[in-house]
Structure 1
Amino acid sequence: MPEDSNKISGVERAAILMLALGEKDAASILSHMGPKEVQELGLAMANMSNVSTGKMESVMHSFVDTLRSQTSLGVDSDQYIRNVLNNALGKEKAGGVIDRILLGRNSKGLEQLKWMDPRSVAELIRLEHPQIIAIVLSFLDSDQAAAVLSEFPERIRPEIVMRIATLDGIQPAALQELDEILEKQFSGASNVKSSSLGGIKTAANILNLIEGSIESNILEQVASADPEVAQEIQDNMFVFENLIDVDDRGIQTLMREVASDQLLLALRGADEGLKEKIFKNMSKRAAEMLQDDLEAAPPVRLSDVEAAQKEILTVARRLADAGEIMLGGGGGEEFI
């Protein structure tokens, strides 16, 4: 969830933006700075680690607000912002940021939901129409949406996922209805704009992060209602066993971000092929220790194993979004 950008220093905001832009664009910007500025900003970039999604979104919001105040030259500022962020981050990575900035600007109630715990969000929208629930979950980050979905009764979850998967953008009328509902709670409805939230990928991302037994049950019921939609969702889901398709360099990068006890627990439910993939991308000593620990480990609950796998998948998706690894197989390509 977004953090207060006022609590982030100016040089930290600049460093986060530079890291988000990528090497080429960041280098282009740095070339226009003086030695002192480059040194200060470079030091801040070097000290950056584990930048949260909330902090990144806060910086992007601040960046866009500054752009908007500087670009009133008779141009479409929204389109200008879309072009800048698409060019800086690429369409895939920029899409979610753009939606949250432009839609969030006009829908304060939605932004406030991202500060609430999943149970509170579920209680707030529990009695609303499933289409409204689907729109709200599509706007939230996938991990928060998954947690909110888990709070709903089992009988309604498949319908919500179906509506998310078949959501082809959000029409102004639907957003207006949502704003009116949230206005009752937050006293903050405003103008609406259409957005490209929702869709098969959003549904898949949410199910990727929900508890395994709940995920299976939802998919079974979605398949009963619409086999084609269920298959599309499954095709877009990235599950733990799919890590076997990640190239060796990607696995090595992922392993550096995963705690050893978490990996030990997650591998309890993995097939031998994936285990071997993990072992061969570790040092010989580390691999031997992990194998010994796996053999000696006592029985554990399946739910604990699935939870550990979900956490590792969350890390994998974060690294993929940052361009550090490629999910679904990198074809042996080198990163440059």
Structure 2
Amino acid sequence: MKPQSSTSDMTGVQRAAVLLLSLGEADAAEVLKHMAAKEVQKLGLAMATMSGVTREQVLGVMDDFKGELERQTSLGVGADDYIRNVLIQALGADKAGGLIDRILLGRNTTGLDTLKWMDPRAIYDLVRNEHPQIIAIVLSHLDSDQAAETLQLMPERTRADVLLRIATLDGIPPNALNELNEIMERQFAGNQNLKSSNVGGIKVAANILNFMDSGQDQSILGAINKVDQQLGQRIQDLMFVFDDLVDLDDRELQIVLREVNGERLGIALRGADTKVRDKITKNMSQRAAEILVEDMEARGPVRLSDVEAAQKEILAIVRRLSDEGAIALSGGAAEELV
């Protein structure tokens, strides 16, 4: 992380990382054990990449947290509201959501949720002999990038079948979901207290395809189009690829760029359309744009896999900002205005 001028320049994840690094190993571990796998991964990455943080910034994060605790009181305020407000102020809305659910709603890790802690290879080994419908339900419960990595390990003939089933999932009967969860519970600790059966759908399928390697996404879409062309088009419409950044308005793109590491941006732009490069540099300060171009010119050849990985990282940021409502995505097949 580049040095920040003040705590106001930090994201919620970065402030949380500074706070946990300041707590010490034992207390930080006590906080992390209450978080979901994806939350721990994001926060752990932020903690691992922290650099150039000044003493003033650490004190600023502490003061913000202490000030919020002093301003809030449980007297005259519902306990739920108090806990929710403190956690959001401390961790940011993005990181606090899952922790709030577990504290206020009493949610515990289920057998299916435990899969989120596993490596995609291990998940594949666990489900590879299951019926494609079971695989579809399992992948629908994973985060999109983890589901995509798992799907990539499957035989080509299986990928399209599984994704087609994910796109056409429209809720799972509670008894069926409990039965599947019981299968997972035989392998992992947890409970069967499932709260929701709303898994799958076209958006989930599109998100998973967004994380597939270049070429594999179009191969799967082609196979789906042969079975159901209308469904394939609906999935395509909801996909958002790196070159679609040109469709963001200037304000939204600037919001994205504030969250993107400059070095990763330079690598990602190696495989981007010229229009995307021009749009991005136009929305940077003149000096920042010059540095970006200089770094790209000075860097030697970059492997295609590295370019695609950098693009996926940026697309993950774009999708997170979209989910938070900070920006609006129209998908890869946005209508042209005439």
Q: TM-score, normalised by structure 1?
A: 0.69
> Partners in 2 of 1:47 and 1:183 — Cα distance?
33
Conserved 8 A contact 2:112-2:141: yes
Distance apart, 1:297 and its partner CA: 3.8
Q: Aligned pair in 2 of structure 1 residues 286, 186: CA closer, same or farther (>3 Å)?
A: closer
Whether 1:57 and 2:59 are equivalent positions in the alignment is: no
* Partner amino acid, structure 1, of 2:200: G
Which secondary structure does the structure 2 equivalent of 1:212 belong to?
A: coil
Residues 1-44 of structure 1: CA deviation (Å, up to 9, x unaligned):
xxx999339xx9xxx9xxxxxxxxxxxxxxxxx99333999998
The residue that corresponds to 1:220 in the other structure is 222
Q: Which residue of 2 aligns with 1:247?
A: 249
Q: Counterpart of 2:209 in structure 1: which amino acid?
A: L
Calculate the aligned-residue CA RMSD, in Å: 3.4
Could you tell me which of 20, 33, 37 is aligned with 2:71?
Answer: 37
Write out per-residue CA displacement over residues 167-206 of structure 1, whole angstroms, 9 at most, x where no aligned residue.
Answer: 1111234324413422432376646666121110000011
Q: Would the alpha carbon gap of residues 43 and 244 (structure 1) be closer, same or farther in structure 2, given more than 3 Å must change? A: same
Change in 2 beyond 3 A, CA 1:6/1:187? closer
**Residue 43 of structure 2 corresponds to which residue in structure 1?**
none
Deviates further, 131-140 or 302-311: 302-311
Please list, as runs of the form range in 1=range in 2, the aligned pairs for 1:194-273 lying within 5 A after superposition.
195-273=197-275
Task: Please tell me whether residue 7 in structure 1 is matched to residue 36 in structure 2.
Answer: no
Tell me how far apart the structure 1 counterparts of residues 87 and 163 of structure 2 sit (CA, whole Å): 41
Instruction: Please say if 1:124 is aligned against 2:126.
Output: yes
**Matches for 1:99-110 after TM superposition, within 5 Å:** 108-110=110-112
* Aligned twin of 2:52: none
AA matched with 1:132: I
Instruction: Output the amino acid matched with 1:283.
Output: S
Identity between Structure 1 and Structure 2 (%): 50
User: Aligned partners of 1:192 and 1:311: how far apart in 2?
Assistant: 31
1:160 matched residue in structure 2: 162
**3-state SS in 1 of match to 2:255:** helix
In 2, Cα distance between equivalents of 1:243 and 1:37: 41
**Residues in 1 aligned to 2:297 and 2:126: alpha-carbon distance in whole angstroms:** 46
- Say which SS state the counterpart of residue 265 (structure 1) adopts: helix
Deviates more, 1:144-153 or 1:196-205: 144-153
Amino acid in the other structure paired with 1:310: K
Gapped regions of structure 2 (runs ≥ 5): 1-26, 40-67, 74-81, 332-338
Quick check: 1:110–1:139 contact (8 Å CA) kept in 2? yes
Corresponding residue SS for 1:198: coil
Shifted more, 215-224 versus 152-161: the winner is 215-224
State whether residues 111 and 182 of structure 2, in contact with CA within 8 Å, keep that contact through their aligned partners in structure 1.
Answer: no
CA distance, structure 2, for counterparts of residue 194 and residue 254 of structure 1:
31
The alpha-carbon deviation at position 267 of structure 1 amounts to 0.7
Contact between 2:246 and 2:275, CA under 8 Å: does it hold in 1? Answer: yes
Q: What is the match of residue 296 of structure 2?
A: 294
Contact 1:182–1:188 at 8 Å: present in 2 too?
no
Distance in 1 of aligned mates of 2:158 and 2:267: 31
Whole-angstrom distance in 2 between the partners of 1:188 and 1:284: 53
Alignment-derived partner of residue 185 in structure 1:
187
Q: Work out the number of aligned pairs and report it.
A: 264
